[in-house]
Amino acid sequence: MENVFIFDHPLIQHKISLLRDKNTDTKEFRELVSEIAMLMGYEVTRNMPLKEVEIETPVGIAKTKVISGKKLGIVPILRAGLGMVDGMLNLLPMAKVGHIGLYRDPETLQPVEYYCKLPVDVEEREIVVLDPMLATGGSASAAIQFIKNRGVKNIKLMCLIAAKSGIERIRADHPDVSIYCAAVDEKLNDHAYIIPGLGDAGDRLFGTK
């Protein structure tokens, strides 16, 4: 699928298996989400541009490379996306962090933005949206659109597990947005939970029900 990247790295696949296990407790679940996010971050940032610089080492001058071009920002979708932030920041401590919160209107069933706080220079940054579970794709699509409305042109979506229907929704609504995920599951149940998935990521991260 164009613009869809599915990670097959053994470490990521191993940790996703542990994440799915219903017996994985809150502490371990939280650690696994952070670890997987950091591992995925390596690939998400693969195309960051570099420039050559000269560095003075203790014994001479080295021509070497540093990251150039657009700065990076990460935006978790509240609340489950928060679990992926620390892993990304361990890899990219210079990244700015925004937050976006959505709820579903009970009458229209459409996502409504209730909170959005983004870096002041967000339109100059490449933004990685964090959402552990891409189920119907409705919330992620709305979040991406809200971010685009702030002038952002370069957006990537990073999730742990995606349903095929969620991927199709993002590809239809935002064909310019690349999707990165560690696993793709076939379907949703009647409550729009990914099957087999891993349950409610937010509840498992924060120990709620």
Annotated binding-site residue? 41:
no
Would you state the structure tokens that stand for residue 56, as one six-digit string? 């003075």
In this prediction the pTM is 0.91
Report the pLDDT averaged over residues 158-175. Answer: 95
Q: Is 203 a catalytic residue?
A: yes
Give the bridge partners for 72, in sequence order. 126
For residue range 90-143, what is the model confidence (pLDDT) as tens digits?
Answer: 999 989 999 999 887 777 767 888 999 999 999 999 999 999 999 999 999 999
The helix (run of H) or strand (run of E) holding residue 14 is: helix 10-20
Q: In 92-163, where does DSSP find H-type helix? A: 138-148
Whether residue 136 contacts residue 192, with contact meaning beta carbons closer than 8 Å, is answered with yes
Q: Is 34 annotated as a binding residue?
A: no
At residue 148 the predicted structure's pLDDT band, cuts being 50, 70 and 90, is very high
Question: Is 4-206 in CATH node 2.40.170.20?
Answer: no
Tell me what pLDDT residue 140 has: 94
Q: At 96, list the tokens.
A: 């700015």
pLDDT (0 to 100) of residue 109: 64
The residue-averaged pLDDT of 9-31 equals 96
Q: 194 among the known binding-site residues?
A: yes
For β-strands 125-130 and 111-117, DSSP reports them as unpaired
Mean pLDDT score, 26-50: 94
200 is a catalytic site residue: yes
